[in-house]
Structures are given as C-alpha cells and as structure tokens.
Structure 1
C-alpha cells in the first residue's frame, strides 16, 4: 500500500510577497534594466502602468 504524500502548491507570482524594490519612475526602472515590469514582478506598481494592462514601463 502506498501512503499519500502531502504536497504544497508553489505560490503563484501574484501570491508571492513583493520584493522590496521600488522604482520612482519608469526612467529609473529602465536605467536599472528592469523594464518592462509585469504585474507580480518586483518593483511593479499600478502607478507605473499607464494603461492598466498589467505591464508597466512598456514604451
């Protein structure tokens, strides 16, 4: 008889705690080589996402 093993699911990107990365502007994110930022990425915030599509600093 096989005993079932309990496994936990890896958290989705949106469930992971945000990293302590902050970009004051898209210029800062681009200078750091981090742009474009996607929702769930460290440093992403809605204030940098002009059109609200989940991708910040895309242009």
Structure 2
C-alpha cells in the first residue's frame, strides 16, 4: 500500500519466474535495498509472502 499514487506498473518475468519488482513493485524493492533489509529478499521470505507465485512457470510445468 502506498500513501501516494504509483503510476508505473512493472510486470517483470525472468527465466519464467517473477522478479522481486514484479512481485512487490519498484518502490518497495528500492526501500528494502536502501534499508539494507537483505533478509527480505530471500526465496524463503518471498515464498511465505507470495506463495507459489514465486515459482512462476516452473510451478505450472511441474503440476501438469
């Protein structure tokens, strides 16, 4: 949630998986980097917050 309108939309996929910017949005990722909160960038945290969406196409291919 933002206290100001965010006009940019980032839908970024790399190697069939969404990137951090694609999942969280550019302003959130910039804040995490600026704060040095590297623990928030790990796969385990991303999976707990976003579930199977983190695996992207890789997950879809395994389930079919």
- Which range, TM-score by smaller chain? under 0.3
TM value normalised by structure 1 = 0.24
TM value normalised by structure 2 = 0.23
Bigger helix fraction: 2
Q: Which has the larger radius of gyration?
A: 1
